[in-house]
Homo-oligomer: A and B are copies of this chain.
């Protein structure tokens, strides 16, 4: 089980970034995302629509308290932050865990999140993108199986193509 916890979503400013986080999580095989911050029904709806169209069982929900979500979660909690320990050093420890929560911040992450998580992981210690950080963390913790997930019951499927676009209706 892989769950993403998105911290501090801001309805206007993070509209696209939070959607990217959710889509990446889904495409690479996470089971669901919990979004905290400002409530945003439209975002939840857009994520659900992608699932209806492209298949799979990915779930998105809102929480009014990231603290409760962190406390309730029984597996290992991995916070992605540019200040943390190198991904390549921590990933082998995390890889054997069966139940993982990846915690992805937006602007300023409260101090207690660093304390409440089991690991604080950095992807390069340079400023970049929480979207890329999530993708690379899933790559190193879950291996290359992230690239070949199955998405049953979708309405559309892409057939890989060398030069064009080939979309099949199912």
| Chain A residues with a Cβ under 8 A of chain B | 16-17, 20, 23-24, 26-28, 50, 54, 82-88, 111, 114-115, 120, 122-129, 131-132, 134-136, 139, 144, 146-149, 151, 157-158, 160-167
- Copy count, this protein chain: 2
Which B residues touch A50, using CB under 8 A? 127
> Which single member of B27, B125, B132, B139 contacts A131 (CB below 8 Å)?
B132
B162–A120 contact, CB under 8 A? Answer: yes
Q: With A132-B20, A136-B135, A139-B139 in contact, is A158–B125 under 8 Å at CB?
A: yes
Extra 19 A-B pairs, beta carbons < 8 Å, given A27-B126, A132-B135, A136-B139? A16-B17, A20-B128, A20-B131, A24-B128, A24-B129, A26-B126, A27-B124, A27-B127, A54-B126, A83-B161, A83-B165, A83-B167, A88-B147, A111-B164, A124-B148, A124-B149, A129-B131, A131-B131, A135-B135
Which B residues touch A16, using CB under 8 A? 16-17
> Which single member of B83, B125, B139, B163 contacts A120 (CB below 8 Å)?
B163
Which B residues touch A54, using CB under 8 A? 126-127
Tell me how far the C-beta of A71 lies from the nearest C-beta in chain B, rounded to whole angstroms.
Answer: 17
Cα distance, A83 to B124, chains bound together (Å):
29
